[in-house]
Amino acid sequence: MQFLTILGSTGSIGVSTLDVVDRNPERFSIVALTARSRIDLLLEQCCKFRPRYAVVIETAHAERLQRQLRASGSETEVLCGIAALEKVAALPEVTTVMAAIVGIAGLRATLAAAHAGKRILLANKESLVTAGALFMSAVKTSGSVLLPIDSEHNAVFQAMPGKQSGSLKNNGVRRILLTASGGPFRTLSLAQMSLVTPEQAVAHPNWMMGRKISVDSATMMNKGLEVIEAHWLFDADPSVIEVIIHPQSVIHSMVEYCDGSVLAQLGNPDMRTPIAHALGHPSRISSGADFLDLAAIGTLQFERPDTARFPCLRLAYDALKTGAAAVIALNAANEVAVAEFLDHRIGFLDIPRLIETVVSAVPERTIATIEDVEAVDQLSRELTLSACAPRTSTITAGAGA
């Protein structure tokens, strides 16, 4: 029996995780669920799975949720704040933590789970992107088990040698090939992309995802962040991590070996598959995903990414080569720029422009603590908002004309 804390239970990954748990009730018990703002859904989850704790960030939400839970007869205790997230991630009775909070907001809680030696199912890529050295050091020191949830990294994990020692090269690995769908704008020109709306950007052709990650997929920043994540997960030099466009999203990633073999993990585009793999590892458990029908698919396509039309991928590689502060700035600028785009304050092509401006403005520095991470993150957010302010006012004025 695994005892779970799910950080971000009302997001797409959290909902899918609970679906897998519900299909395998003899294997899992929920200790804690957390959410930011979807309180009604959190209430439903608490009533069904009966966790010991529910955590929200705002006091008003906590008071409301506690009243509703008591009225329904639930004994779940509601906690509030960032410190509460860290608490439920490190509880002694918790064996497994699903880290699914979107963005750097999930960093402290995920790091707390690592320090506590938990089995971590990592869907919060920002923990590695912004604090890779700190996070991997905590995992190694505590003996924590780290299992990737991103479909690409989970696929790479499945295709890697069963028992690794030393470098990738010593294990016969030549390349890691991360597949990308190309998003909804894969065939559009720059002129066409300049006109796209947030509503179009969040309509991913293959995956059901949250709004922020859907925009990241559309800009290919999501793939850039995955390159950085793969660097830390697999101790891989950026030169051996390559991205290839695969519109069908059937092959989730591949590992190429020095003998010419390429091992791939395939499946329908359903996040319950990597979630079930990580929850059950090393066993296999039911996910609820449809089984793959290759004959019905017929053809699998591949093409190289176009970094002229999708510069975010290039920016991610560049930041990884530059250093830790550049990567933190890249992530922070992207989070702010995507939020501004979703609120119709900047255009789609402004996202990479803002990111490049901010990354070039943030000086490189040593990142030795989580406070260092947060300081660079805050500076980068302020610079991004400042850089987009003139463009924001222009767009707002135009929209109101």
Please tell me what DSSP assigns to residue 303. Answer: B
Reduced to 3 states, what is the DSSP secondary structure of residue 298?
A: coil
Statement: residue 269 has pLDDT above 70? yes
pLDDT of residue 273: 97
**Domain residue spans of the chain:** 2-148, 155-297, 323-400
CA gap 360, 326 in Å, rounded = 8
Q: Tell how strand 251-257 and strand 262-266 pair up.
A: antiparallel
Q: Within 13 Å and on the Cβ side, how many CA atoms surround 319?
A: 36
Q: Tell how strand 119-122 and strand 96-99 pair up.
A: parallel
Query: What is the fold of 2-148?
Result: Rossmann fold (3.40.50)
Q: Which pLDDT band holds residue 162 (cuts at 50, 70, 90)?
A: confident
Token pair 């997960």 is found at 233
pLDDT digits (tens, 9 = 90+) for 191-202: 999 999 999 998
pLDDT digits (tens, 9 = 90+) for 22-72: 999 999 999 999 999 899 999 999 999 999 999 999 999 999 999 999 999
Q: What φ, ψ does residue 186 adopt, rounded to 5°?
A: -55, -35
pTM of the entire predicted model: 0.90
Amino acid at 214: S
Overall average pLDDT of the 318-341 stretch:
96
Overall average pLDDT of the 177-198 stretch:
94
Query: What is the fold of 323-400?
Result: Rna Polymerase Sigma Factor; Chain: A (1.10.1740)
More confident residue, 391 or 270: 270
